[in-house]
Chain A
Amino acid sequence: MIQEFFLAPFELAFMRRALAGCIALSCAAPPLGVVLVLRRMSLTAEVLQHGVLPGVALGALLGGAASLWLMGLGGFLAGLAVVLLAGVLARATGGREDSQLAGLYLLALAAGVAIISVTRGVDLMHLLFGSVLAVDGAGLLLMAGAASVAVLGLAVIWRPLVVESFDPDFLRAMGGRGGVWHLAFMALVVLCVVAGFTALGTLMSVGLMMVPAVAARHWSARLAGQVRASVVVAVLASLGGLLLSFHGDMPAGPAIVLMAGVQWLGGLLFGPYASLRARFAG
Chain B
Amino acid sequence: MGGGGVGVVNAAGVRPPAIRVEGLGCRFGAQPALTGLSGSFAPGSLTAVVGPNGAGKTTLLRSLAGLHPGHAGRIDRGGLAGRDIALLPQASRLDRSFPVTCGEVVALGAWGEMGAFGAGPADLGARVQAALEQVGMAGFAGRLVGALSAGQFQRVLFARLIVQDAPVLLLDEPTASVDARTEADLVALIRAWHGQGRTVIVVLHDLELVRALCPETLLLAGETVAWGPTAGVLSAENRMRARLLAEAHAVGRRKAA
A residues contacting B by CB (< 8 A) are 38, 94, 156-157, 159-160, 162-163, 165-167, 169-176, 181, 220-223, 226
Residues of chain A within 8 A (CB-CB) of B4 are none
Q: Are A175 and B82 in contact (CB under 8 A)?
A: yes
Q: Are B116 and A38 in contact (CB under 8 A)?
A: no
Chain A residue at minimal CB-CB distance from B116: A160
Q: Are A170 and B87 in contact (CB under 8 A)?
A: yes
Residues of chain A within 8 A (CB-CB) of B105 are 166
Q: Are A38 and B146 in contact (CB under 8 A)?
A: no
Across the interface, A170 reaches (CB within 8 A) one of B2, B111, B116, B117, namely B111
Q: Are B67 and A173 in contact (CB under 8 A)?
A: yes
In the complex where A173-B87, A176-B115 touch, is A38 in contact with B67 (Cβ < 8 A)?
A: no
What is the CA–CA distance of A160 and B117 in the complex, to the nearest angstrom? 8
Q: Which 9 A-B pairs have the closest CB atoms?
A: A160-B116, A175-B82, A223-B99, A173-B65, A166-B98, A174-B111, A174-B82, A173-B82, A222-B99
Chain A residue at minimal CB-CB distance from B85: A173
Contact with A along B89-120 (1 / 0, CB 8 A): 10001110011110001001001100111000
What is the CA–CA distance of A159 and B29 in the complex, to the nearest angstrom? 31
B83 contacts chain A at the CB level, 8 A cutoff: yes
Chain B residue at minimal CB-CB distance from A180: B116
What is the CA–CA distance of A181 and B99 in the complex, to the nearest angstrom? 19
Tell me the minimal C-beta distance from A89 to chain B in angstroms: 16
| Interface band, chain B | 20 to 34
Across the interface, B67 reaches (CB within 8 A) one of A166, A172, A220, namely A172
What is the CA–CA distance of A163 and B94 in the complex, to the nearest angstrom? 11
B-side interface mostly: loop
Tell me the minimal C-beta distance from A260 to chain B in angstroms: 20
8 interchain pairs, CB-CB under 8 A: A38-B99, A159-B116, A163-B108, A167-B108, A175-B83, A176-B116, A220-B99, A223-B100
Q: Are A173 and B66 in contact (CB under 8 A)?
A: yes
Q: How many A-B residue pairs have CB under 8 A?
A: 64
Residues of chain B within 8 A (CB-CB) of A176 are 1, 111, 115-116
Q: Are A94 and B29 in contact (CB under 8 A)?
A: yes
What is the CA–CA distance of A172 and B69 in the complex, to the nearest angstrom? 12
Q: Are B100 and A169 in contact (CB under 8 A)?
A: no
What is the CA–CA distance of A175 and B86 in the complex, to the nearest angstrom? 12
Tell me the minimal C-beta distance from A278 to chain B in angstroms: 14
Given A173-B85, A175-B81, A221-B99, 10 other A-B contacts at CB below 8 A? A157-B116, A159-B116, A163-B108, A165-B98, A166-B105, A167-B94, A167-B108, A174-B112, A222-B144, A223-B99
Q: Are A221 and B144 in contact (CB under 8 A)?
A: yes
Q: Are B98 and A172 in contact (CB under 8 A)?
A: no
What is the CA–CA distance of A159 and B104 in the complex, to the nearest angstrom? 11
B211 contacts chain A at the CB level, 8 A cutoff: no
What is the CA–CA distance of A166 and B94 in the complex, to the nearest angstrom? 7
